[in-house]
């Protein structure tokens, strides 16, 4: 006959449910902790503490306990995640506003809250474990995962966000909703950045435009593209010819003449020219 269990004293309801489930599985087998320890491959005290302790045991300990009792590892993992999530909530200091579901995420604020809640519901796995689940080295570095779960950054690419979903063990049918939420959040962020740009005064625009025209003239004189004696104002409205690599997509041997710069007027000045310094050439966007 097995020795009676110690009374449960934890105030974590999810942990209490996990411990009661473990005890029911041991009672079903009718074995003691020493016999279970042989099958589980760990010490009997470790198994006993997992079913009566004040803190959430390790996931591997719970899985070993379930395997020794021939119980469902999926159910053991589910109960352990709930207990771990409840413990994290208590350490945080109580409940907070519920995280939005993927279909209700519209911006990066919603996405940040939902991602942290997803990480906690996954059991708050270690960063090294997340890196291994994501696919190994390079998919989700530990430093990146740390910044994501602490709300310091959000995944910048869809591939990185998919690696984070794999690290949190999100099911295949739920990943599509999360990917759509990520797309909506970043689309809203870029739209907000565009509409919140401060307006530029007219005098600054006119000064920059004159500077652009002057540097364009210097560029044309330097490369002998459009002399000032031939109606320079007409060059602004002419279409920009195709570069030589687009005219001739097939590779060919470079001759002396092909290495020369084109002599036609190839510069079309628009208000979106940028210059890095006074000596560099203009850059067209």
* Mean pLDDT per 10-residue segment, the chain (285 residues): 70 86 87 85 86 84 89 89 84 71 89 89 88 88 90 89 92 91 88 60 71 79 60 48 49 51 43 44 45
What's the residue count for the chain?
Answer: 285
Tokens of 113: 């809250």
The three state secondary structure string of the chain is CCCCCCCCCCCCHHHHHHHHHHHHHHHHHCCCHHHHHHHHCCCHHHHHHHCCCCCCCCHHHHHHHHHHCCCCHHHHHHHHHHHHHHHHHHHHCCCCCCCCCHHHCCCHHHHHHHHHHHHHHCCCCCHHHHHHHHCCCCCCCHHHHHHHHCCCCCCCCHHHHHHHHHHCCCCHHHHHHHHHHHHHHHHHHHHHHHHCCCCCCHHHHHHHHHHHHHHHHHHHHHHCCCCCCCCHHHHCCCCCCCCHHHHCCCCCCCCCCCCCCCCCCCCCCCCCCECCCCCCCCECC
Q: What angle do CA 166, 102, 59 make, to 5 degrees?
A: 40
- Sort 96 into a burial class: Cβ within 10 Å, 0-12 / 13-18 / 19+: exposed
pLDDT at 177: 92
Give CA torsion, residues 257, 259, 264, 270, to 10 deg: 170
Cβ(33)–Cβ(1) below 8 Å = no
For residues 89 and 77, what is the distance between their CA atoms, to the nearest angstrom? Answer: 18
Tell the residue number behind the tokens 């099911």, with chain if given.
171
Q: What is the pLDDT of residue 268?
A: 44
- What's residue 192's pLDDT? 61
């Amino acid at each position: 006959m097995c020795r009676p269990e110690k009374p449960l004293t934890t105030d974590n309801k999810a942990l209490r449910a996990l411990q009661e489930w473990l005890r029911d599985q041991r009672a079903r087998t009718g074995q003691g902790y020493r016999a279970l320890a042989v099958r589980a491959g760990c010490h009997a005290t470790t198994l006993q503490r997992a079913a009566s302790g004040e803190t959430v045991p390790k996931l591997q300990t719970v899985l070993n306990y379930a395997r020794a009792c021939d119980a469902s590892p999926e159910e053991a993992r589910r109960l352990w995640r709930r207990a771990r999530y409840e413990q994290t909530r208590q350490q945080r200091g109580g409940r907070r506003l519920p995280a939005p579901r993927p279909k209700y995420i519209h911006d990066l604020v919603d996405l940040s809250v939902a991602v942290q809640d997803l990480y906690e519901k996954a059991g708050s796995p270690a960063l090294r474990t997340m890196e291994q689940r994501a696919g190994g080295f390079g998919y989700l570095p530990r430093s990146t995962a740390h910044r994501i779960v602490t709300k310091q950054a959000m995944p910048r690419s869809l591939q990185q966000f998919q690696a984070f979903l794999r690290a949190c063990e999100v099911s295949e049918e739920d990943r599509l909703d999360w990917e759509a939420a990520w797309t909506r959040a970043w689309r809203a962020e870029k739209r907000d950045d565009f509409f919140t740009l401060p307006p530029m005064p007219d005098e600054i625009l006119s000064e920059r435009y004159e500077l652009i025209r002057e540097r364009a003239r210097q560029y044309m004189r330097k490369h002998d593209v459009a002399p000032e004696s031939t109606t320079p104002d007409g060059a602004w409205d002419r279409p920009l010819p195709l570069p030589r690599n687009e005219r001739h997509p097939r590779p060919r041997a470079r001759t002396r003449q092909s290495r020369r710069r084109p002599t036609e007027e190839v510069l079309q000045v628009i208000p979106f020219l940028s210059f890095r310094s006074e000596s560099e050439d203009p850059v067209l966007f």
